[in-house]
């Protein structure tokens, strides 16, 4: 093996694998080493005969080997001579190897043996895996489905959780260190490699460099790691956020023209959300949110551990439902601009005056059955009692137009109170469709909206009233389930809200309301509904599943 290459521009030492100087970005001369590996065919440590090269990285070379006397194949990683030359590295190697060998999670590559060869080279003997790494998998199968993405990353998080509990931070999570193999039942099994190895080259008080090369991979390096600060498990969470970003968008979140430029972008550049980076891939909003939280530059704003991020991914998959089985890039209504639909506008000042309501119902937009939405009523604006619209709506003379288009997946605003003021959002189900003042309900029942309701027997706004309204609870609950199965989430939420007000102690209503909010991406509302469900049904058969969902956010 050849030693470090010296940069002709600044004199910094670089590993032989790199083509650009890690210090100044200048091009490096080609490695003069030949293609012959002198260790192939040799017996090391009196136990392992090296048969072929499996891969090479910044720390060393990984060989396939036969273990003498057992007819058993293993992988042996032999560290580069220049890496192991530092006495501190030797001491760290034995300490870290002992710690890593204690890891036994099924999603972690097992370390069987470690030590020093006859020539003084440091080595690790590990289980040999037959399968691609995540980089190869993405090159072949991209884009993956959300369920496959989530399943792979959840297994990585399982391995991280055990390691973090043992005080081990990986520090170099990247696609090449995540192997994807098949178990005996043909299911994908993730194996995380190289736990603890990157830490061997960590100088005291610095996580970036020793003898002139970068510890970690710039594309997946947390800002605090780039600054040389002491690291904790949240650095691995950031790296996993980079992995998720790559799986959702097809690109890494930051990519400069050199390693140093990439590190600088992690430190200084704001993150472009996955949905904005590649809008053509229609990244689900709920996975976009998980990714952004993992990639917060401030560790305090990230997921605080592997279990927390795993719970968020499980929640996201549950919320996506059947959509989780469609590859990233498949358009869905949640990710498409809403189609133009009719708007029903009422001067907001007349919400208070129910007696005048029958003369002031105004219709804008194209014909069709409106889906009622309660608008905020204050300051003489127009209260929206029809669905959000992708286009603009002209206001009647002397009035104001509605604030503009709204994404179909956004929570809906709450209505004003009976006194004409602005009501506060419900702390229990923030963002869900609220009850509408009696004045609007009375007006709507005498307007054309009453005859255009999707539910013929009820006016669209009156269907959101409490138990004294025209909607009886069983029909509201059943209608909500029908709309949920038809993927009309806004309609389902509206009906389940009506059912909730009619029978506030019925557990099944809160369960279905939680499912609808979760699939719509309203995580806080889903959490509130599910918590109430468990309070009302403490012995529910699915209690364990719901509790796992709640643990995630």
In this predicted structure, the answer to whether residue 462 has a pLDDT above a threshold of 80 is no
Q: What's the pLDDT at 291?
A: 97
How large is the average pLDDT for residues 156-176?
A: 93
Answer with the residue of higher pLDDT: 183 or 1.
183
CATH number at 466-553: 1.25.40.10
Mean predicted confidence (pLDDT) in 162-187: 91
Please tell me which of 134-143, 205-214, 363-372, 463-472 the model is most confident about, judged by mean pLDDT: 134-143
Q: For tokens 């990247």, name the residue.
A: 174
Start-end of CATH 3.30.200.20 domains in the chain: 37-127
Inform me whether the pLDDT recorded for 324 exceeds 70: yes
* Range name among 96-100, 471-475, 499-503, 520-524 with the lowest pLDDT average: 471-475
Beta bridge partners of residue 124, listed in sequence order: 77, 114
Reading phi first (left if > 0) and then psi (alpha if -120 to 50, else beta), residue 214 is in beta
Which residues of the chain are in CATH 1.25.40.10 domains? 466-553
| Residues 476-485: tens digit of each pLDDT | 888 888 888 7
> What CA–CA distance (Å, rounded) separates 154 from 160?
10
**Mean pLDDT of the 34-38 span:** 67
- Residue pair 274/262 in contact (Cβ under 8 Å)? The answer is no
Q: Does domain 37-127 have CATH number 3.30.200.20?
A: yes
Neighbouring residues of 226: CB distance < 8 A, sequence distance ≥ 6: 208, 218, 263, 266, 267
Mean pLDDT within 527-544: 87
pLDDT of 352 above 60? no
Rounded Cα distance, 543 and 549, in Å: 10
Q: Is 172 a catalytic residue?
A: yes
Closest CA to 33 of 58, 3, 77: 3
Residue 162 pLDDT > 90, yes or no?
yes
pLDDT at 180: 95
Mean pLDDT, range 219-234, rounded to an integer: 93
160 pLDDT higher than 60: yes
Q: Please give the pLDDT value at position 5.
A: 57
Q: What value does the mean pLDDT take over residues 12-32? A: 63
pLDDT, the chain, mean:
73
| Residue 320, phi then psi, degrees to nearest 5 | -75, -25
Query: Are the CB atoms for 252 and 269 separated by under 8 Å?
Result: no
Q: Residue 147: what pLDDT?
A: 97
pLDDT at 475: 76
* Residue extent(s) of CATH 1.10.510.10 domains in the chain: 134-333
Give yes or no for residue 199 having a pLDDT over 60. Answer: no
Residue 204: what are its φ and ψ, rounded to 5°? -60, 125
Q: What is the mean pLDDT of residues 269-275?
A: 97
Tracing tokens 């918590």 back to the chain, one arrives at 531
- pLDDT value of position 447: 37
**Which residue bears the tokens 């030797």?**
90
Summarize the confidence of residues 183-203 as an average pLDDT.
Answer: 74
Residue with more model confidence, 506 or 456: 506
Q: Tell me, what's the pLDDT at 13?
A: 59
Answer whether 312's CB lies under 8 Å from 552's CB.
yes
Give dist(CA 462, CA 359) in Å, integer. Answer: 18
| Predicted local confidence at residue 422, as pLDDT | 35
User: Which has more pLDDT, 170 or 199?
Assistant: 170
Instruction: Identify which of 235-244, 378-387, 530-539 has the greatest average pLDDT.
Output: 235-244
- CA-to-CA distance for 15 and 335, rounded, in angstroms? 45
8 confidence band (pLDDT: 50, 70, 90): low
Do 543 and 514 touch, CB atoms closer than 8 A?
no
| Range in 18-27, 42-51, 341-350 with the lowest mean pLDDT | 341-350
The predicted structure's pLDDT at residue 6: 57
Range scoring the smallest mean pLDDT among 165-174, 421-430, 506-515: 421-430
pLDDT at 460 over 50: no
Tell me the average pLDDT across 316-323.
Answer: 94
| Overall average pLDDT of the 116-129 stretch | 88
Residue 56 three-state SS: strand
CA atoms within 13 A on the CB side of 57: 20
- DSSP code string of 529-553: HHHHHHHH-TT-TTHHHHHHHHHH-
Q: Mean pLDDT lowest for which of 1-15, 255-269, 348-362, 489-503?
A: 348-362
pLDDT value at residue 341: 40
Average pLDDT over residues 138-143: 93
Q: Which residue has the higher pLDDT, 22 or 488?
A: 488
* Centroid of chain to Cα 502: 36
Interhelix angle 306-320/285-294, rounded to 10 degrees, is 170
Question: Which residues is 190 bridged to in the sheet?
Answer: 180
- Tokens representing 147 are 């369920």
Report the alpha-carbon distance of residue 521 to residue 374 in Å, rounded: 20
pLDDT the model gives residue 9: 58
0.75 exceeded by pTM:
no
Q: Which residues have a Cβ under 8 Å from the Cβ of 434 and sit 6 or more positions away?
A: 374, 412, 414, 415, 423, 426, 464, 497
Q: Which of 113, 133, 141, 172 is catalytic?
A: 172
Domain 134-333 sits in which CATH superfamily?
Transferase(Phosphotransferase) domain 1 (1.10.510.10)
pLDDT at residue 197, rounded to an integer:
57
- pLDDT value of position 300: 96
338, 405 in Cβ contact below 8 A?
yes
């Amino acid at each position: 093996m050849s030693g470090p290459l010296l940069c002709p521009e600044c004199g910094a030492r670089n590993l032989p694998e790199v083509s650009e100087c890690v210090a100044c970005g200048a091009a490096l001369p080609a490695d003069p080493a030949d293609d012959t590996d002198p260790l192939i065919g040799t017996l090391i440590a009196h136990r392992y005969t090296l048969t072929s090269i499996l891969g090479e990285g910044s720390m060393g070379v990984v060989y396939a080997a036969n273990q003498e006397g057992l007819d058993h194949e293993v992988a042996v990683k032999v560290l580069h001579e220049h890496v192991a030359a530092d006495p501190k590295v030797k001491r760290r190697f034995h300490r870290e190897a002992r710690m890593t060998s204690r890891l036994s999670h099924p999603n972690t590559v097992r370390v069987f043996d470690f030590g020093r060869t006859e020539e003084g080279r440091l080595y690790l003997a590990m289980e040999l895996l037959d399968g691609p790494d995540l980089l190869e998998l993405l090159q072949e199968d991209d884009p993956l489905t959300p369920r496959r993405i989530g399943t792979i990353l959840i297994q990585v998080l399982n391995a991280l959780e055990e390691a973090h509990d043992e005080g081990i931070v990986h520090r170099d999570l990247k696609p090449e260190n995540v192997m994807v193999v098949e178990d005996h039942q043909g299911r994908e099994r993730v194996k995380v490699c190289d736990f603890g190895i990157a830490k061997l080259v960590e100088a005291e008080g610095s996580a970036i460099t020793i003898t002139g090369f970068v510890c970690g991979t710039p594309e997946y390096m947390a800002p605090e790691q780039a600054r040389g600060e002491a690291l904790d498990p949240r650095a691995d969470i950031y790296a996993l956020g980079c992995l998720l970003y790559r799986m959702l968008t097809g690109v890494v979140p930051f990519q400069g023209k050199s390693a140093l430029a990439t590190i600088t972008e992690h430190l200084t550049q704001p993150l472009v959300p996955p949905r904005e980076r590649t809008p053509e891939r229609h990244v689900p909003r709920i996975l976009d949110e998980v990714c952004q939280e993992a990639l917060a530059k401030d560790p305090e704003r990230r997921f605080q551990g592997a279990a927390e991020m795993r719970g968020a991914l499980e929640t996201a998959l549950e919320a996506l439902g059947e959509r989780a089985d469609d590859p990233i890039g498949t358009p869905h209504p949640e990710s498409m601009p809403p189609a133009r639909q009719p708007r029903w506008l009422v001067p907001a000042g007349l919400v208070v005056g129910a007696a005048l309501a029958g003369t002031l119902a105004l219709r804008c937009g194209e014909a069709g059955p409106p889906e009622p939405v309660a608008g905020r009523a204050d300051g003489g604006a127009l209260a929206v009692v029809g669905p959000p619209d992708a286009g603009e709506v002209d206001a009647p003379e002397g009035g104001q137009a509605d604030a503009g288009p709204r994404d179909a997946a956004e929570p809906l605003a709450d209505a004003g109170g009976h006194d004409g003021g602005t009501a506060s959002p419900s702390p229990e189900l923030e963002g869900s469709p609220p009850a509408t003042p009696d004045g609007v309900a009375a007006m709507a029942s005498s307007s054309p909206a009453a005859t255009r309701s999707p539910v013929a027997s009820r006016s669209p706004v009156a269907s959101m009233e409490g138990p004294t309204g025209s909607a009886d609870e069983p029909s509201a609950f059943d209608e909500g389930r029908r709309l949920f199965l038809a993927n009309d989430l806004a309609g389902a939420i509206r009906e389940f809200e009506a059912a909730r007000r009619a029978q506030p102690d019925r557990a099944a209503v809160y369960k279905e309301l939680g499912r609808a909010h979760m699939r719509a991406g309203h995580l806080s509302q889903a959490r509130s509904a599910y918590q109430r469900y468990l309070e009302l049904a403490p012995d529910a058969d699915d209690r364990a599943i719901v509790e796992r969902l709640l643990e995630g956010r």
